[in-house]
Structure 1
Amino acid sequence: MISGAYHWGPLAVQEQVGVRDLAEHVGRSIGTGIGDVAAAFLGLQPHLVVGAADGAGRVWASLLTGPPGFVRATGPDRVVVAGGPPEGDPLAEALATPGTRVGSIALDPRTRRRMRLNGTLAETRRGFAVEAEQVFANCPKYIQRRQPLQLIGQGAGVVRRGDALTPGQQRSVRGADTFFIATTAEADGVDASHRGGLPGFVEVLSPVELAWPDYAGNAMFLTLGNLTADPRAGLLFPDWESGAVLQLSGRARTDFRADGSRLTRFRVESVVEGVHPGRLLWSTPEYSPHLGRTTR
């Protein structure tokens, strides 16, 4: 095994699924340094998804936005993010606290590229900084291609809080083709990842329970591995065409079925719905070509 690539949770899932050798090979892509290509990619992004735990221990995923350059590498293992989450965001306090463990993912719908950077918050004069501990790119599988249309900066703020999904929120989840998931393994850090599928791939089983299939990926199983170690998770559903965001915090578990398929079930504990400031509106999607053959 590559030292530091995986903790016991991903290792257990890799063994169960039978991809340990492949995962060891893929794990070589996980490093601690931010190379020139990664730094250039980050500097072009208008948004960043960050996952962390709040003061009560709930795990959330939050969307940060800004003009390209608001996320920038300032060293081989340090990223600075100008500004922070919008007012009322559940991670506002955590992202202002040095020492917070965070996971982040920059995903560019224009190019279907994505990059993950996990680490620990450090002090900086403006916004926050992340000292990188894991840096790696993922393939474009299941990412929908979109083009930016319009930047809007008015009418932001939290719309609704609750502990269950409203009928309107349930419709939004059923219609989603993309969401982000933050997971943790406490001492082994936090990770933020992406899930994509055709609308309807996330099932609403009740106002407090969701489920989605786990499609074949890169064999790392960082998300499922974290959930094996700690069931806490945060979901972020962006509405690409309106700028609205739906954030859910709760607990998840994965069912490993006899036919080799996997289904993740999520229990909602807290809900925050908002409209994002400085939101960039995007075009309708060009669906990933991999979604025509989503082996599970």
Structure 2
Amino acid sequence: MLEQTRQDATSPWHKGELAMQRSVGVAERMDGPGRNFVRKAMPEQHRAFFPMLPFVVLGAVDAKGDVWATVRAERPGFMVSPEPEILDVRLPRDAADPADAGMEDGDAIGMLGIQLETRRRNRLNGVIRRTDPGAFQVHVGQSFGNCPQYIQLRSSAFVRDPDVPTAMPPLHSGQLDDRALGMIEGADTFFVASYVDRENGERQVDVSHRGGNAGFVRVGADGVLTVPDFPGNRFFNTLGNFLVNPKAGLVFIDFESGDMLQMTGKIEVLLDSPEVASFQRAERLWRFTPEEIVLRPDALPLRWSRPPGL
């Protein structure tokens, strides 16, 4: 019966995504793209893309229901798709990463493959199948590409063996310190994870890219982040999730040091606020209140550089 329901479901959009699409008058127009571009398996170009990458962005939900975003790096080839519905991922467990707690067998996961030097990105979500602490399979639920908008050009290089973890311990906090504030306020890129539990009982996790000019995220005196939502593909995966489940996980990277700042917390979506006018090109805003903060010095074995003149 469940399989028949899946066959009959012609649109992948859930009620939060549809509500966002209706709020800007595009729900009918987005029905066709939803059927055509959001697939239940990976197309050949996506299957060829993921093995090229030296890192992947992941979204996961821990046992408390908190969502975390993370970045994991390995030599290219650590992700391979033996079948269109499967992505094999070779990554060891990492107790220092708060997202790792949501990567057990049967857990839902969101994935973003992104190549900053070409501004190419592909997203998928699915369910983890794990029998090995050093690897897992993702059984694909949705797979789709994204346009290159707002991606800042960067190239990366390994500075150490990715199988050798840093010796620097993670720093846990309930509030933003000067180091964390500096990473946020100087950022032109971050990644955000969100999730919903759909009507059929399946959990759907999404992780996506956000980019803009350095300083596009503002931090108030109360430690709340205000994030502009710029014109995009009108899928509204992230904001649609927020409307149904106002939780998010954010990760900021210091591209020069490999430090990572991971946070989980609550969301407020502002569809119509006079404050929007103070953010150039923004169509709406959302606010993020951090509840748990993990700063992980030297967490990534990669370092990124900008092209000359940028």
Tell me the TM-score normalised to structure 1 length.
Answer: 0.91
Q: 1:169 aligns with which of 177, 180, 195?
A: 180
Q: Give the distance between the partners of 1:157 and 1:114, measured in 2 at CA.
A: 30
In structure 2, distance between residues paired with 1:200 and 1:74: 41
1:192 aligned residue (207, 210, 216): 207
Letter in structure 1 aligned against 2:256: E
Is 1:245 the counterpart of 2:260 in the alignment? yes
1:291 is matched with none
Deviation at 1:3, TM superposition (A): 2.3
**Cα gap change, 1:182/1:254 in structure 2, threshold over 3 Å: closer, same or farther?**
same
CA contact (8 A) 1:22 1:219 kept: no
Alignment pair present for 1:152 and 2:167? no
Instruction: State whether residues 273 and 284 of structure 2, in contact with CA within 8 Å, keep that contact through their aligned partners in structure 1.
Output: no
Aligned to 1:58: 66
**1:32 aligns to 2:40 (yes or no):** yes
Q: CA deviation at 1:241?
A: 1.4
Map of 2:190 onto structure 1:
179
Q: Residues of 1 paired with 2:272 and 2:286: CA distance?
A: 11
8 Å contact kept, 1:144–1:287: no
Q: Which residue of 1 aligns with 2:50?
A: 42
Report if the CA contact (8 A) 2:194-2:207 is conserved. Answer: yes
Q: Which residue of 2 is the match for residue 275 of structure 1?
A: 297
1:119 counterpart = 2:126: yes
1:150, distance to aligned residue in structure 2 (A): 4.1
Task: Letter of the 1:164 partner, please give it.
Answer: Q
Three-state SS of the structure 2 residue aligned to 1:93 is helix
Q: Say if 1:73 and 1:148 are closer, same or farther in 2 by CA, change over 3 A.
A: same
Amino acid at match of 1:227: F
Letter in 2 for 1:183: S
Q: 2:280 aligns to what?
A: none
**Secondary structure of the equivalent of 1:92?**
helix
Q: What letter matches 2:285 in structure 1?
A: L
- In the alignment, structure 1 residue 254 sits paired with structure 2 residue 269: yes
For residue 110 of structure 2, the aligned residue among 103, 109, 125 is: 103
Superposed displacement of residue 75, structure 1: 1.1
Q: Give the structure 2 partner of residue 21 of structure 1.
A: 28
Alpha-carbon separation, structure 2, partners of 1:170 and 1:287? 26
Are the aligned partners of 1:101 and 1:190 in contact in 2 as well (CA < 8 Å)?
yes
Matched residues, number: 287
Q: Which of residues 81, 90, 98 in structure 1 aligns to 2:89?
A: 81
Moved more, 262-271 or 21-30: 21-30
Report the CA distance between 1:205 and its aligned residue: 0.9
Greater Cα radius of gyration, structure 1 or 2:
2
- Take 2:273 and 2:297, find their aligned partners in 1: how far apart are those partners? 42
Matching residue's letter, 1:168 = R
Identical aligned residues as a percent: 35
Distance in 1 (CA, whole Å) between partners of 2:39 and 2:308 is 31
Alignment CA distance shift 1:201-1:172 (3 Å): same
User: Matched residue of 2:40: which SS?
Assistant: coil
Tell me the SS of whatever aligns to 2:233: coil
TM-score (norm 2): 0.87
Q: Is the 8 A contact 1:118 1:190 kept in 2?
A: yes
Partner of 1:292: none
How far apart are the structure 2 equivalents of 1:157 and 1:138?
Answer: 35
Shift of 1:278: 5.5
The residue type paired with residue 246 of structure 2 is: P
1:287 and 1:114 map into 2 onto residues whose CA distance is 24
Q: Indicate if the aligned counterparts of 1:158 and 1:272 stay in contact, CA closer than 8 A.
A: no
Taking the aligned partners of 1:122 and 1:247, their CA distance within structure 2 comes to: 25
Give 5+ residue unaligned stretches, structure 2: 1-7, 277-282
1:42-84 deviation line (CA, Å, top 9, x unaligned): 0000111111111121110011110001111121101111024
Conserved in 2, the CA contact under 8 Å of 1:157 and 1:276? yes
CA distance in 2, matches of 1:78, 1:44: 16
Q: Counterparts of 2:19 and 2:197 in 1: how far apart (Å)? A: 17
Task: Give the Cα–Cα distance (whole angstroms) in 1 for the partners of residues 11 and 76 of structure 2.
Answer: 31
Opposite residue 19 of structure 1, the aligned amino acid is V
Deviates more, 1:169-178 or 1:25-34: 25-34
Rounded Cα–Cα distance in structure 1 between residues aligned with 2:309 and 2:113: 19
Residue identity matched to 1:99: G
Q: RMSD of the alignment, in Å?
A: 2.1
- Write the distance in 2 (CA, Å) between the matches of 1:181 and 1:85: 21
